[in-house]
Amino acid sequence: MKKKRNALLAIFLALTLLMPTGAMAAEATETNAAPQSLEEIAAAKAALLTTTYGTTSVQYALVDNGKIIVSGATGTNDTDGNIPLTPETMYGIGSTSKMFTTAAVMKLVDQGKINLDTPLVNYIAEFKMKDERYKQITPRMLLNHSSGLQGSSLTNAFLFEDNDPYAHDTLLDQLADQSLKADPGAYSVYSNDGFTLAELLVERVSGMDFTSYIHKEFTEPLGLKHTLTSQDELDVSKLAAIYTPGVTEQLPNETVNVIGTGGIYSTAEDLVKFAGLFTGEAEDILSEKAAIAMAQPEYKRGVWPKDTDNSFDFGLGWDSMRLFPFNEYGIQALAKGGDTILYHAELVVLPEQNMAAAVLSSGGSSSLNQLLANELLLQALQDNGTIKERKPAKSFGTPEQATMPEELTEYSGFYGATNQLIRIDVADGEINITSPFAPGESLGLPKLVYTKDGTFVSEDGSLKVSFVKEKNGRTYLWERQYATVPELGQLALSFYSAEKLEENALTPDVEAAWKQRDGKSYFLVSEKYSSIAYFIMLPTVQMTRTDSLPGYVLDKQITGPDSLMGKHQIPTTGSRDLAEYRFFTQAGSEYLEAAGSLYLSGDQVKELYPGKKSSVTLRPSEQARWYTVPAKAAGKTITVELPAKASFAVYDAAGVCVNFSVVSGNNEVKLPENGTIVLIGDPGSRFEIELK
């Protein structure tokens, strides 16, 4: 099973974190004079994100003992330059919204209305799942990502200028038809559904909708005048403009409709004020006990690699409660990042120093934003004398190859992580990592050689990997990396990046069923007309198996003639979003259902009528109709007369979107050779089509 939008296999997380635009190979911009003051340094480092690392605009702020001492913004807002970036310009903060959700739950804990370790069903009576283990899930497990929920039920969650609450309103229905991927509490792996469920928990216990609750309890008492949710009335002109490569016009506002998971807009200054909850400056709003509880090493409750320098060590809500490089100075740093499709955010808090930095951006990545936040805080700590001098960049040193024990060859085999499958061969003192779908094609990974400490290290000393047999009986590839970004610092990463997959023998009837699906594509049909899912790339899922591991479709184990499920259990992010894949036939058409999203078999996609005029009416159960572009229509201009609340998109032969009417406003486009078209709207919508 292969999503076409993922063009390259990316088993090494650091590379995907740091290369949102391919700009990582660029050289840092030279300046005539080195900046001296904190304000100058902040401005220069922020400018690096926009001039060198592909970010459209960036906004930042630093607070020290309740006073904002640095604040600024740089980059492009509207291309005409009519709307400047200001401290009041709001950005989507993505998953940094989870800190508001965590604070909301902890506020109710302070009030004695929630106990973190009482089963969730005591608070949400209608919460049910197919898997009886759901009764063991507690509020704590939602906040530390250890609930065992499959991951993300995000149908209609990411829309262009459309605050449809469908994903929030239907979550309990979605979960009722799902099973768990692990025992609750077994291990922590990032889960969006856990925080949408926590949002529902806050609503059930408080008796208020989530937006009203966070305004009443947090934004109003803290004076956060520019922090809103997707359910608030938004002035789009006050949001940072968003763009994407290849599209010249400004995109419509990105609306994230799972608020507790990622649907809050804010500013850098508001976020550092919000950080007062965690530095002891707002104990009348959230108790010190609650803030301390959030900063505990929750990741240690389940399977996790041994402690080493890292940027991911889950607390309650926090991505990290001992962020590198602050641990090098004996300073605790808390961090939470957020990435939507188009907005990115990072909040870093030093509770003992009463300091915090926030960096928000249009374009870029939360990882780059974290590096900028780190730089601001480190410079401020150096200015006030807490840090005498900066620590040098770290590495694992130049490897000295040693004789590898023969028994390590037993780690050779297939390894999987979410939507990823690799082949690892251990021999002659080296690890060779390849894609089973392109055995002769390089993945661009560094050479790794065996060293005397029992690990394999890259020649430049930036990457170290080894194999671990965990207490749960599973075998993991453990990756540690120091990822350096010129003039912005280092990220340290330590995580299990993949799990060794066991053979999965198929019965003849199951093999026959899957042989019919080999290579087939399934087309998304369940998203509404305003969905961002139809933008950028063709939204399909492809069934791809390798003859060497026929019991799997990528990392997902074939569990029956009509079902797939990832069975690996990789903490941090490796087993994120392991939705069950279920196939069924309705009215003669095969569909794939996964995490509430519905896909239609490509067998049912017909050619567009190549005549001058035609019309299409969506069936009563249909939200999208797909067509391929026939040779007779390629090169012609299609004009689509759209009904209300409808759209259409056209993709070229490579699956790149060449026109999405919601973005372009155009109902005319030249049809590409071997292209694809989708018409999207409410059931019964009628589209009038003309070809010239």
Q: Which domain CATH number covers 650?
A: 2.60.120.380
**What confidence category does residue 2 fall into, taking pLDDT thresholds of 50, 70 and 90?**
very low
Residue 398 is assigned to a structural domain of this protein: no
Q: Which domain holds residue 578?
A: 508-602
Distance CA 64, CA 68 (A): 6
Three-state DSSP at 134 gives helix
Is residue 11's pLDDT more than 50? Answer: no
Cis peptide bond N-terminal to 325, omega within 30: yes
In 261-274, which positions are buried (b, 16+ CB within 10 angstroms) versus exposed (e)? bbbbbbbbbbbbbb
Q: What token pair was written down for 480?
A: 């540690």
pLDDT value at residue 32: 56
pLDDT digits (tens, 9 = 90+) for 358-373: 999 999 999 999 999 9
**What confidence category does residue 80 fall into, taking pLDDT thresholds of 50, 70 and 90?**
confident
Residue 573 is assigned to a structural domain of this protein: yes
pLDDT value at residue 383: 96
The radius of gyration computed from the CA coordinates of the chain, to the nearest angstrom, equals 25
Residue 446 is assigned to a structural domain of this protein: yes
Q: What token pair was written down for 525?
A: 């049909």
Three-state DSSP at 27 gives coil
Q: Is 642 found in the same domain as 598?
A: no
Calculate mean pLDDT across residues 61-74. Answer: 97
Q: Is 369 found in the same domain as 293?
A: yes
Q: Is 612 found in the same domain as 660?
A: yes
Q: In angstroms, what CA-CA distances link 461 with 24, 420, 606?
A: 18, 25, 53
Q: How many helices (H) and strands (E) are present in the chain, helices listed first?
A: 15, 36
Calculate mean pLDDT across residues 245-257. Answer: 93
* Nearest of 407, 354, 318 to residue 100 by alpha carbon: 318
Task: Compare 200 and 25 and report the one with higher pLDDT.
Answer: 200
pLDDT digits (tens, 9 = 90+) for 382-406: 999 999 999 999 999 999 999 999 9
Distance CA 337, CA 288 (A): 23
In 457-475, which positions are buried (b, 16+ CB within 10 angstroms) versus exposed (e)? bbeeebbbbbbeebeeebb
Calculate mean pLDDT across residues 43-65. Answer: 96
Distance CA 2, CA 555 (A): 10
One-letter amino acid at 135 equals: K
Question: Which DSSP state fits 30?
Answer: P
Of the three residues 500, 532, 550, the one that is the final residue of a domain is 500
Residue 396 is assigned to a structural domain of this protein: no
Q: Is 495 found in the same domain as 525?
A: no
pLDDT value at residue 34: 72
**What confidence category does residue 246 fall into, taking pLDDT thresholds of 50, 70 and 90?**
confident
Q: In angstroms, what CA-CA distances link 579 with 141, 187, 343?
A: 19, 17, 25
Q: Is 124 found in the same domain as 77?
A: yes
Residue 5 is assigned to a structural domain of this protein: no
Residue 397 is assigned to a structural domain of this protein: no
Question: Which DSSP state fits 390?
Answer: P
Of the three residues 449, 483, 500, the one that is the final residue of a domain is 500
Q: Is 185 found in the same domain as 175?
A: yes
Q: Is the dihedral of CA 244, 246, 251, 254 positive or negative?
A: negative
Quote the mean pLDDT of the chain: 93
Q: Is 219 found in the same domain as 125?
A: yes
Distance CA 92, CA 267 (A): 9
Q: What token pair was written down for 240?
A: 């940072």
pLDDT value at residue 13: 34
Q: What token pair was written down for 132?
A: 């009886």
pLDDT digits (tens, 9 = 90+) for 304-361: 999 999 999 999 999 999 999 999 999 999 999 999 999 999 999 999 999 999 999 9
pLDDT value at residue 439: 75
* CATH number of the CATH domain containing 279: 3.40.710.10
Query: What's the total number of domains in the chain?
Result: 4
Is residue 27's pLDDT more than 60? Answer: no
In 510-521, which positions are buried (b, 16+ CB within 10 angstroms) versus exposed (e)? beebbeebeebb
Of the three residues 460, 480, 500, the one that is the final residue of a domain is 500
Distance CA 91, CA 55 (A): 13
Contact between 584 and 517 under an 8 Å Cβ cutoff? The reply is no
Residue 575 is assigned to a structural domain of this protein: yes
**What confidence category does residue 446 fall into, taking pLDDT thresholds of 50, 70 and 90?**
confident
Which segments of 281-380 are extended strands (E)?
A: 334-339, 343-350, 355-362
Q: Is 533 found in the same domain as 638?
A: no
Q: In angstroms, what CA-CA distances link 334 with 14, 318, 324, 481, 630?
A: 19, 7, 10, 20, 55
Residue 173: partners with Cβ closer than 8 Å, 6 or more residues away: none
DSSP line for 216-255: IIIIHHHT-TT-EETTS---GGGBPP--BTTB-SPPPPEE
The H-or-E segment that residue 416 falls in is strand 413-417
Q: What is the 3-state secondary structure (H, E, C) of 178-207?
A: CCCCCCCCCECECCHHHHHHHHHHHHHHHC
Q: Is 623 found in the same domain as 589?
A: no
Is residue 20's pLDDT more than 70? Answer: no
Minimum mean pLDDT among 245-249, 562-566, 654-658: which range?
245-249
**What confidence category does residue 687 fall into, taking pLDDT thresholds of 50, 70 and 90?**
very high
pLDDT value at residue 10: 37
Is residue 81's pLDDT more than 90? Answer: no
Residue 14 is assigned to a structural domain of this protein: no
Q: Is 540 found in the same domain as 625?
A: no
pLDDT value at residue 82: 85
Q: Is 151 found in the same domain as 232?
A: yes
Q: Is 686 found in the same domain as 648?
A: yes
pLDDT value at residue 526: 96
